[in-house]
Amino acid sequence: MPSKNLLSNLMNAIKLSEQRGKKSCVVEGTSKFIGRVLAVIQKSGYIGEFEFIDDGRGGKLKIQLLGRVNDCGVIVPRVSVGSAQIDQLATRYLPSKDIGVLVISSSKGVMSHLEAREKKAGGVAVAYVY
């Protein structure tokens, strides 16, 4: 049975599988939001392809790992951030200015903090990966 916080379950599975040196991981419990978060992480180059497996009980995600994730996690409580405060939040959760990505959910969609800065869009910071 998957946990109630699907995003936390996803990030924990990725982190532990990367630490063990696995090439892929399977995560139970999915949603459209989880798929969009994975697309942002994939676009940033931290994971490979991912696919949805329908098992009739909420589904599973199979994620190909590239060995690039050092740490990842969920930002709890979720922090509302304006476009001007994105850099402050990035220095709080990421080790360096050029390393890592914050996942931000806004009215314009789920995007990385770099895209949000370009579009001058604020939103809610939900996760980080580096």
Read off the pLDDT of residues 104-127 as tens digits, 9 standing for 90 and up.
Answer: 999 999 999 999 999 999 999 999
- Looking at the whole model, is its pTM more than 0.85? yes
1 within some domain = no
Assigned domain for 123 exists: yes
Structural domain total, the chain: 2
Based on the domain organization, do 53 and 29 belong to the same domain?
yes
Q: Which pLDDT band, with edges at 50, 70 and 90, does 28 fall under?
A: very high
CATH number where 33 lies:
3.30.1370.30
**What's the confidence (pLDDT) of residue 14?**
98
Which structural domain, as residue segments, surrounds residue 17?
A: 6-65
Q: What is the reported pLDDT for 4?
A: 83
Give yes or no: residues 58 and 12 share one domain: yes
Q: What is the CATH number of the domain that holds 121?
A: 3.30.1490.10
Q: Nearest-CA neighbor of 31 among 67, 4, 69, 58?
A: 58
Binning pLDDT at 50, 70 and 90, where does residue 2 land? low
Chain segment 35-89, per-residue pLDDT in tens: 999 999 999 999 999 999 999 888 999 999 999 999 999 999 999 999 999 999 9
Is 88 inside any structural domain? yes
What is the strand order of the sheet 60-65 is part of?
Answer: 24-28, 60-65, 47-53
Q: What are φ and ψ of residue 113, in 5° steps? A: -65, -25
Q: Which of 26, 49, 65 is the last residue of a domain?
A: 65
Please compute the mean of the pLDDT values over residues 92-108 and round it to a whole number.
Answer: 95
Q: Is the pLDDT of residue 1 over 70?
A: no
Q: Are 77 and 56 in the same domain?
A: no
Displacement of CA 28 from its chain's centroid (Å): 16
